[in-house]
Structure 1
Amino acid sequence: MFHIVLFEPEIPPNTGNIMRLCANAGSALHLIEPLGFELDDRRLKRAGLDYRDTVNIRVYRDMREFIESVRPARLFACSTKGRNTYSNVRFCASDAFLFGPETRGLPLRMLENLPSERRLRIPMTAGSRSLNLSNAVAIVLFEAWRQCGFTGAIDHSGQEFKSDDTRPDHPP
């Protein structure tokens, strides 16, 4: 199971969309305080629809508590300041992806605590500042899940999804 980690998220609809995304991709959602909203915020509930009960959501006082509790095998920071393009990494199902607050991104000190190959970026055109947080999470999470053969997914008939991805970077 992938771990999506939102450090000090600020905008309830973004977190609600990510909640729904995590439910649909079988991923855990970890929220690092302080949050810019209450978990019972109607905007969060509206964006997350009825997926709140189907996703594993945990809230932590700080990053240290998250690391000590979850002990992720690998932690990747996703940032406009990242060095490594997300699509150049071979992901594992136990990986954790850290995203910063919508208005300021991850603090530089957090990025500097990770090896440069674990600081990911999503390419953008010149002059672009950043992507919407929920869109960025979707891009990275679905690339990681694709690489793992969409494990746990079902097809339109309710049967286990069989990936037809035959590219060399796709694990057997």
Structure 2
Amino acid sequence: MSLEIALYQPDIAPNAATIGRMCACFGLRLTIIEPAGFAFTDSGFRRAGMDYLEKLDLARAASWAAFRADNAGRRIVLLSTKASVPHVDFAFQPDDILLLGRESAGVPDDVHEAADARIRIPMAPGLRSLNVAMAASMVTGEALRQLRQFPTG
């Protein structure tokens, strides 16, 4: 197993597709935890993902419970504005799942509590959050750097 990205009930098709494109480029699996706020045939999803989506290892989980059951034994690392540990101070493991919440609402408390670890991206005071695709790319880059898992081709 290797690093994986999971999106909890994503709202915005172009953001999910941008993350999918990143996953395709780095050889990572992307799991969408349903329900998503868009159809996978959405033009915004296709436009943002371009032809990279054809090379994406995409999985879909019917629910949070199904996702948890499918990934028993793997560490779930939640990106959260409520976390106290900066992502650059966190020690990633090779089979971590990086979990990102909905753009509109993050994740519910039960999902937050179920995560094995919670990390945040440090930001200037008074600012709340980054775009989810930007956050995914920053943390994925740090995890791949730490783990030396960047593709070599």
Q: TM-score, normalised by structure 2?
A: 0.93
Deviations 1:16-65 (A, max 9, x none): 10010001111110001111100111110110010112111111111121
Which entry has the higher C-alpha Rg, 1 or 2? 1
The SS at the match of 2:129 is coil
Distance change in 2, residues 1:105/1:80 (3 Å): same
Distance 1:85 1:44 in 2: 30
Q: Point out which structure has higher relative CO (alpha carbons under 8 A, 6+ apart).
A: 2
Q: Residue 140 of structure 2 corresponds to which residue in structure 1?
A: 141
Structure 1 runs of 4+ with >3 Å offset = none
| Residue 95 (str. 1) matches residue 66 (str. 2) | no
Q: Residue 51 of structure 1 corresponds to which residue in structure 2?
A: 52
CA RMSD of aligned residues (A): 1.3
- Comparing 13-22 with 145-154, greater Cα deviation is found at 145-154
Q: Does the aligned pair in 2 maintain the 1:30–1:57 contact within 8 Å? A: yes
Distance 2:42 2:20 in 1: 13
Distance 1:47 1:74 in 2: 29
Q: Residue 160 of structure 1 corresponds to which residue in structure 2?
A: none
Structure 2: stretches of 5+ with no match in the other structure: none
In the TM superposition, what is the alpha-carbon distance from 1:72 to its structure 2 partner? Answer: 5.2
Q: Does the aligned pair in 2 maintain the 1:4–1:30 contact within 8 Å? A: yes
Distance 2:94 2:41 in 1: 30
Number of paired residues?
A: 152
Query: How high is the sequence identity, in percent, across the aligned residues?
Result: 34
Structure 1: stretches of 5+ with no match in the other structure: 155-172
